[in-house]
Copies of this chain bind each other. A is one copy, B any other.
Amino acid sequence: MTGFYGEHSKVFVSVDCIVFGFDNDKLKLLIGRRQMDPGRGEWSLYGGFVREDESLVEAANRVLFSLTGLENLYMKQVGAFGAIDRDPGERVITVAYCALINVNDYDDRLRVEHGVEWVSIDELPKLYSDHNEMVRKAVTLLRRRISTEPLSFNLLPELFTLTQLQHVYEAILGEQIDKRNFRKRIKAIDFIEKTEYIDKLTSKRGASLYRFNKEMFANEPSFKL
């Protein structure tokens, strides 16, 4: 605080969290009614202001933790949004972060306490300010990256069936995938391990449960799907 840049003006900086989940074969987003002015009552992403003693990433993680009670979530910066009048109250520049969580990890009581809901991305209402634009950009980012980065596992439980995994891809890419071709590609990827466990909940016959092996992936960080 030695005053190097005194002649310039400061602005409010916030972070907004675009929280994706996967439920009922749909890609969903966590949104709630804004609880403060301006814009009270409008549908909105969950966000917060950046404090002096934290970096942008730390701010995003703090906000995300206060919302979900979860730490070490998968998170990526979507970008900074800085139109002059994007916030109807005062000038606020915001940095959007996108997070992927497994809906089962999210305590539903906590969700209700924060007054947020899972809404399917193709049924999104008009959101506060430029939040719809942020979501669009985040979805584009997901689509681009899902085939070259192992993102999808963050939306699923530790153990998952191949059908579930396929449905994640279908939800994000917005198109149907041939089951046989999909499974053929999965078989070629050795960090997606078949476990001894069987899921008997979704089918009578039962489906093998698979696991994403982080360590194996670290050794062989190429990925195509």
Among B2, B13, B82, which residue has its beta carbon within 8 angstroms of that of A57? B82
Cβ–Cβ contact A95 & B80, under 8 A? yes
Cβ–Cβ contact A80 & B77, under 8 A? yes
Enumerate A35-80 residues with CB–CB distance to B below 8 Å.
36-38, 49-57, 59, 77, 79-80
Cβ–Cβ contact A10 & B8, under 8 A? no
With contacts A10-B11, A90-B5 taken as known, whether A95 is within 8 angstroms of B77 at the C-beta atoms is no
Q: Does A162 contact B (CB under 8 A)?
A: no
Cβ–Cβ contact A55 & B82, under 8 A? yes
Q: Does A223 contact B (CB under 8 A)?
A: no
Tell me which residues across on chain B come within 8 A of A56, comparing CB atoms.
Answer: 80-83, 93
Q: Does A197 contact B (CB under 8 A)?
A: no
Q: Does A111 contact B (CB under 8 A)?
A: no
Cβ–Cβ contact B82 & A79, under 8 A? no
Each complex incorporates copies of this chain amounting to 2
With contacts A57-B82, A83-B55, A95-B80 taken as known, whether A8 is within 8 angstroms of B12 at the C-beta atoms is yes
With contacts A55-B82, A82-B56, A82-B57 taken as known, whether A8 is within 8 angstroms of B49 at the C-beta atoms is yes
Among B13, B36, B91, which residue has its beta carbon within 8 angstroms of that of A11? B13
Tell me which residues across on chain B come within 8 A of A52, comparing CB atoms.
Answer: 9, 11, 91
Among B2, B5, B51, B84, which residue has its beta carbon within 8 angstroms of that of A53? B84
Cβ–Cβ contact B80 & A2, under 8 A? no
Q: Most chain-B Cβ atoms within 10 A of its Cβ — which of A54, A56, A89?
A: A56
CA distance A3 to B81 in the complex (A): 21
Q: Does A92 contact B (CB under 8 A)?
A: yes
| A/B interface sample: 12 pairs, CB < 8 A | A5-B49, A5-B89, A8-B12, A8-B49, A10-B10, A10-B13, A11-B11, A13-B13, A50-B82, A56-B80, A57-B82, A82-B95
